[in-house]
């Protein structure tokens, strides 16, 4: 779905993203930020849904991964996605600021980490890393 | 006349926003939120903020319920609620609420029940204040849009 063109035909060249966050407010804002950049995006509410959507065969250029979520948190989800061979850019986004907590998240397989709130400039800096 | 009303209402909005920023109640993230609103999504800010209010009130009830329980010891659960509250508060620019959550989380991590109770009282107070001010802001905005909208049909006569 994320990689299909608007009319369901050939693949679009549009970048695609997956928002993984249990918080409705954050999902709405992240979705809108991505929309404004022309990035097709899908949102799920926890790490397990993020893993499941990949198991269904979908892939994304970018995954915005929250850390603290019920069912499966961002650290475990990132670990599992990397073990599955997912090489997408995974950017951790969280309110956590303690080095120890962030390090564990990064070591699970993140390509980038941004402290919430996610802003347009932070998102653009993440996207530059995909393109760079 | 109606044009002047719309201008006056816009000035009222700007004064209220300036007050909220000056007092540290809101931060620049609220401006980021406003920038996400456009013709394709003209009510984006109020939609997000109303969801924030709905979710926050559930979280505040949960936090109070946890702390009022005599047998309470599940600081981990409290931490989960606080992370939620912090995350959404920082995303809409609710700066003072976010800062109280930081202090609340610190008390929770130290298993300091009295500290948590004090923080909860402050959080409830800050939340009520913010909610009232944002409702005021949205009311002024609605009146401004109506005043500006009524003007245009008259200009076309």
Task: Please provide the DSSP assignment of B83-150 as one string.
Answer: HHHHHHHHHHTBHHHHHHHHHHHHHHHTT-HHHHHHHHHHHHHHHHHHHHHHHHHHHHHHHHHHHHHH
CB nearest A117 (choices: B41, B44, B91): B91
CB of B30 closer than 8 Å to CB of B93? yes
Q: What pLDDT score was predicted for residue B4?
A: 79
Q: Between these two residues, B20 and A130, which has the higher pLDDT value? A: B20
Average of pLDDT values for B88-96? 96
CB contact under 8 A, A28 and B47: yes
CA distances from B16 to B36, B70, B96 (A): 20, 42, 16
A-contacting residues of B 96-155, CB under 8 Å? none
Q: What pLDDT score was predicted for residue A12?
A: 56
pTM of the model: 0.86
Q: What pLDDT score was predicted for residue A132?
A: 65
CB contact under 8 A, A117 and B44: no
Q: How far is B23 from chain A (nearest CA, A)?
A: 20
Average of pLDDT values for B10-37? 95
Query: Each residue of B54-74: pLDDT tens digit?
Result: 999 999 999 999 999 888 888
CA–CA separation, B7 and A9 (whole Å): 49
Q: Which residue of A has its CA nearest to B53?
A: A25
A130: nearest Cα among A88, A93, A92: A88
pLDDT of chain A along its 132 residues, tens only? 333 333 333 345 789 999 999 999 999 999 999 999 999 999 999 999 999 999 999 999 999 999 999 999 999 999 999 999 999 999 999 887 778 889 999 999 999 999 989 999 999 999 998 876
Find chain A residues with C-beta within 8 A of B35's C-beta.
Answer: 120
CB of B102 closer than 8 Å to CB of B86? yes
Q: Between these two residues, B63 and B5, which has the higher pLDDT value? A: B63
Q: What pLDDT score was predicted for residue B2?
A: 59
Find chain B residues with C-beta within 8 A of A24's C-beta.
Answer: 51, 55, 88
CA–CA separation, B21 and A32 (whole Å): 24
B24 CA to centre of own chain: 12
């Amino acid at each position: 779905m994320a990689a299909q063109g608007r009319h369901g035909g050939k693949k679009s060249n549009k970048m695609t993203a997956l928002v993984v966050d249990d918080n409705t407010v954050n999902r709405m804002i992240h979705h809108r930020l991505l929309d404004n950049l022309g990035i097709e995006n899908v949102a799920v509410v926890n790490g397990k849904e993020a893993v499941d959507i990949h198991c269904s065969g979908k892939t994304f250029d970018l995954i915005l991964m929250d850390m603290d979520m019920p069912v499966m948190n961002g650290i475990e989800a990132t670990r599992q996605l990397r073990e599955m061979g997912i090489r997408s850019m995974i950017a951790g986004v969280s309110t956590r600021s303690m080095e120890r907590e962030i390090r564990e998240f990064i070591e699970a397989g993140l390509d980038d980490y941004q402290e919430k709130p996610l802003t347009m400039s932070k998102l653009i800096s993440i996207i530059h890393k995909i393109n760079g | 006349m109606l044009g002047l009303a719309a201008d006056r209402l816009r000035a009222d909005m700007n004064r209220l926003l300036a007050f909220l920023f000056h007092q540290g109640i809101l931060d620049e993230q609220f401006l980021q939120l406003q920038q996400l609103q456009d013709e394709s999504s003209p009510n984006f800010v109020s939609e997000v903020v109303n969801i924030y209010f709905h979710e926050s009130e559930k979280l505040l009830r949960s936090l109070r319920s946890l702390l009022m329980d005599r047998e309470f010891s599940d600081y981990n659960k409290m931490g989960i609620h606080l992370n939620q509250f912090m995350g959404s508060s920082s995303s809409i620019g609710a700066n003072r609420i976010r800062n109280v959550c930081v202090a609340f989380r610190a008390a929770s991590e130290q298993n300091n029940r009295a500290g948590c109770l004090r923080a909860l009282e402050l959080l409830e107070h800050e939340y009520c204040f913010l909610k009232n001010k944002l409702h005021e802001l949205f009311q002024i905005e609605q009146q401004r849009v109506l005043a500006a909208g009524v003007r245009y049909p008259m200009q076309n006569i």
